Amino acid sequence: MKILIVSLDNVGDTIVSLAVYRALRAQPGVEPAFWTKEYSRDVVPLAGPGIEHYHCDPFWDRSPGKAKGGFYNYFKTLLAIRAARFDAAVIIHANWRKNLSCLLAGIPARYALKGAFATHYVTPGPEVTHILDTSRLLVEAALGKDPGELRYPAAATSYGETPETAALFSSGAWAVIHPFSGNPRRNLPLAHWTPILQLLEARGLRVLVNASRDEKEVFSALPHTAGSRVYSCDLGLDIKNLAYAVSRAKLFIGNNSGPLHLASALGTPCLGIFQKIWIGKISPRGKFLPELAVFENDPAEIGAGEIPAKAGKLLGL
């Protein structure tokens, strides 16, 4: 039975979908494959080598820092999926466009939570809110049996590295931080990072800041000792190389976004800045369940000393 996992979303959601792949791959006779955005394509190899994988940025959606996808690449990918003759699709974060795309790709059974053009709908009870729990119900519907709890650990053999990053992150002790995200309302105020950086430096850690060039320009205004900080944009890290760096880190600290899910998947001790209403829906569940600094409406509610205190405890593990 060939099942296509449809995760036409950004990095964090695609990392979460690795749990669906893991559950399907464990079943005899089931051949799972992925359809993802081009933007998040490098996530899939973290589940292991040789995975059948289709990728394009859909023409109706815009990835962070990117233009909308083109119709030509979407149509070409649709034809390739149609030629592969899938029996079913498990559609994560379903909507009518994704469901219709699977119909046009000739997939006869389409499992979804919502949206027109699916063939099988799953309706979770009010107590089932987390994306992994709703995905578990989708997998159960597709397989006809409960796959058990879903988690998304990444395979150690799949870390990307270049000679430069291997040399850099294999020497000394490192922390990785992700001070920005696709939604500014999730981001810890810039001033709150100063005591965090002071703690990390006091513990003898160099810091990799996962940031774009524009974000680096903002963040580099914070005081630091020369040589204590490097930026992912200067190293040209893709997701696999970022995964390698995070796997070598003593600690990861970041806002609610894809890199936090990545750290959890890799088993790196991690601390996330999270709005309370989202914890039950999308909090990371990888190898390491993160410590969370929680706010109700605004990340500025988090006390300046709270994150350094939590980080200190994690560094003591």
Q: What is the mean pLDDT of each run of 10 residues along the chain (317 residues)?
A: 96 94 96 96 89 95 84 96 98 96 98 98 94 97 96 69 79 94 90 94 95 94 84 90 91 95 95 96 94 96 94 91
For residue 141, what pLDDT is reported?
98
Whole-number Å distance between alpha carbons of 247 and 314:
15
Question: Does residue 59 contact residue 76 with C-beta atoms inside 8 Å?
Answer: no
For residue 63, what pLDDT is reported?
83
Q: What are the counts of helices (DSSP H) followed by strands (DSSP E) for the chain?
A: 12, 12
Q: Strands 270-275 and 109-112: what pairing?
A: unpaired
Q: Sheet holding 109-112: strands in order across?
A: 53-55, 31-36, 2-7, 88-91, 109-112, 120-121
**4 bridge partner residues:** 33, 89
Whole-number Å distance between alpha carbons of 209 and 236:
12
User: Which domains are present in the chain?
Assistant: 2-143 (3.40.50.2000), 159-315 (3.40.50.2000)
For residue 160, what pLDDT is reported?
60
User: Residue 259, CB half-sphere, CA atoms under 13 Å: how many?
Assistant: 31
For residue 68, what pLDDT is reported?
87
Quickly count: other Cβ atoms within 10 Å of residue 141's Cβ: 17
For residue 64, what pLDDT is reported?
78
**Cα separations in angstroms, 300 against 43, 107, 171, 191, 311:** 31, 47, 35, 10, 18
